[in-house]
Structure formats: structure tokens, C-alpha cells
Structure 1
């Protein structure tokens, strides 16, 4: 179960992230598969790496009625885009997370003995998957996305991508203490010509 929670909100039966548990029933052992695509624009780390505009998350889940509530297991998969944190090139990646989350029935022992942020709850026979899926995807994303693990980044002098500049790229730097001498010597060379 995810240790990160959003405050409980009352889900609506029509939302794409919501599962109605009335079809499942409360008999322990009954189960139903849930497969759907849900809109997920902006899920991720905004400005770093996230689901792009118009993006979706593919949910492939199994809901199982258990004594204390409904156990949701399965996976969520999506494509995220962003830019490399070293060379600033655009990047795209597939992210898939495995989910296992218990949604407690109202007035169950689990509901009564846990804090609101410790376990998810079923509200009006509805399960809101969005907070759990969002948390799982955000936690699976790299905090420092890279186009390749060995990305060399940008040249600090000219700003070019080191991968394109080649291994012999460099900039001549002169110790400022010797700069006046170099100017004088280059001035003498110009006078001789």
C-alpha cells in the first residue's frame, strides 16, 4: 500500500477513475476485472517529467471482495515525457507500476482502527483509484530524468551537447595571473609583422 495519501474526497459514480463496488458484492472471494484507459494529463513531476497533454493511463486491475473491504491489484501503464536534466534534450519513457491497495468498507474493523491517511476507504460503494495510481506513478518516476544513463550533459563554456561535440572538444583557459603577460607577448608578435 502506498504511504502517500490525498485527503478523502467523495467520488462521483461517473468519473473515469471510479469503480462502483455494488456490482462486486460483499461476499468474500468474489472478483471482477477492471480494464480501462483514464485521462492523466499532468500526472508526474510538472516541469520535469509527466504524462503529456492528452495522455492516458492504461489500468489492468482485479477487484476482489475481502472481509474488510475490496482489494485492488494489478498494473497501471503510461507514457511520460520531459527533458534530460543534463543535456535538456526531449525524452519519452514508458512507466508501469504494480498496485496493491485495500479499500476498507465503512464501519469495518480496518476502518475503525486506522487513521484516515493509513488506508483508502470505500465511500458510498465507490472506490476512487486516482490518488493511489497518481502516487504510484509519481514515486516510480526518476527525480533526475536522463536521456541515457551516461549522458555527458552540456559544455559549461559554449553550451553545446558534449555527445555532439566529440571527445577532443575543449576551450583554452588562461590563468588570469598570466593573462597580462600573454597580451604583452601577443602584442610584441604583432609589432614584428
Structure 2
């Protein structure tokens, strides 16, 4: 094994996302439950919209099952997420929970030989890396347009105030640009006394 591959294997083994399947064996039907708490080194989600922030803890509960073609991973992952409302820009915080079901193919299996690597993940040195699977599932589970409430009215385009905080009679007088010069010349009509 080359030095670069050994270093890559050591780094992958040290990652909390990587699970060793050697104890599981390759006998179909054998299984093992795994629980991990992974502290994120980088945001997980849609950056600048909504994501689990750096330093957040992702709870991973999965069952590893040995099957003929590889290791089937099923279970859940959950993490706190933060972002801002797409309409009113108020900060948001909640929790996302995703269901995971993924087959990791054994080397030289029929699945490995008949699928592309981006279709079905592979076992590498009897290890599986959950990070890409969890990242993809979280991104798909998060809203692309997060809202603080489903009926959030957003911000007033005239003054930038939050519609929920402004009164029902809030408005801005709009002057037709063709009459703006006349209004400037005559001034505000409310300042002049009414004619009798």
C-alpha cells in the first residue's frame, strides 16, 4: 500500500463519520446498532440560508446489516439548524431529522461492478463513510425558502418594517412621477387652508 493511501486510510478511520464493519462480518443477516454524536467541523446544510452550524452535534442512530451485496445502513440522524426567514429576515432555529437507508457495496460485488460510484457508495477497507450520505439527506430535507411562520407577510418595501409589527393602516403615499414636479411647486395641499 502506498504512503498516500495509508495516510488517507488513517485519516478516514479517525473521522467520527466513518464506521468500521469488520466486527459485523460478511454473513448475511448479522447486524449491529451504532450510535454516534458527531460535532460538525463545517456547516451542514444550505449555507447563508439554513444549516446546522459549525460546532453543532449531529445525533446518528443507525443499524448496520450485512447483506449479500454489502452493508445496508438504516436509521436516523438529527441536528439543530439555524437560519433566517426568507421573507422577514428574523432568525430561525429548529431541528432537522432525517431517515437514512443506504447500501454500501462490497468490493468486487455485482452491485459494485454494475453501478457507478456516485449511484451506490462503496466500502473502503471494511469501512463506511456516513458523512456524504448524511450531508445529502440533510440538504434535501431543509426548506430552500425557510419561513418563521407559513403566513409570514415579510417586510414593507417602502420602509423595511416588518408587516407583522406595522399597523393595518400602514402605507406610503405614492405619487405618480408625472405629478411630482407639480406637487413640489405647489407644496403639500394639507398645509394650505381650505377655500370657502
Report the TM-score, using the length of structure 2 for normalisation. 0.88
In structure 2, the residue matched to 1:93 is 94
Q: Distance in 2 between matches of 1:188 and 1:33?
A: 78
Structure 2 runs not aligned, ≥5 long: 1-7
Taking the TM superposition and a 5 Å limit, the aligned residue runs for 1:39-54 are 39-40=39-40, 41-54=42-55
In structure 2, the residue matched to 1:143 is 144
Structure 1 runs not aligned, ≥5 long: 1-8
**SS of 2:152 mapped into structure 1:** coil
* Greater RCO (Cα-Cα under 8 Å, separation 6 or more): 1
In structure 2, the residue matched to 1:6 is none
Cα distance per residue 1:13-40 (max 9 Å; x no partner): 2210011000111110000001111122
Mark the CA change 1:189 to 1:142 in structure 2 (over 3 Å): closer, same or farther: closer
- Report how many residues are paired: 185
Q: Distance in 2 between matches of 1:88 and 1:110?
A: 46
Taking the TM superposition and a 5 Å limit, the aligned residue runs for 1:159-178 are 159-178=160-179
Q: CA RMSD in A?
A: 2.0
Report the TM-score, using the length of structure 1 for normalisation. 0.89
Cα distance per residue 1:89-132 (max 9 Å; x no partner): 10012111111000000011111111111101000000000000
In structure 2, the residue matched to 1:37 is 37
Q: Distance in 2 between matches of 1:38 and 1:133?
A: 11
Mark the CA change 1:26 to 1:186 in structure 2 (over 3 Å): closer, same or farther: same
Taking the TM superposition and a 5 Å limit, the aligned residue runs for 1:1-193 are 12-40=12-40, 41-186=42-187
C-alpha displacement at 1:176, in angstroms?
A: 1.8
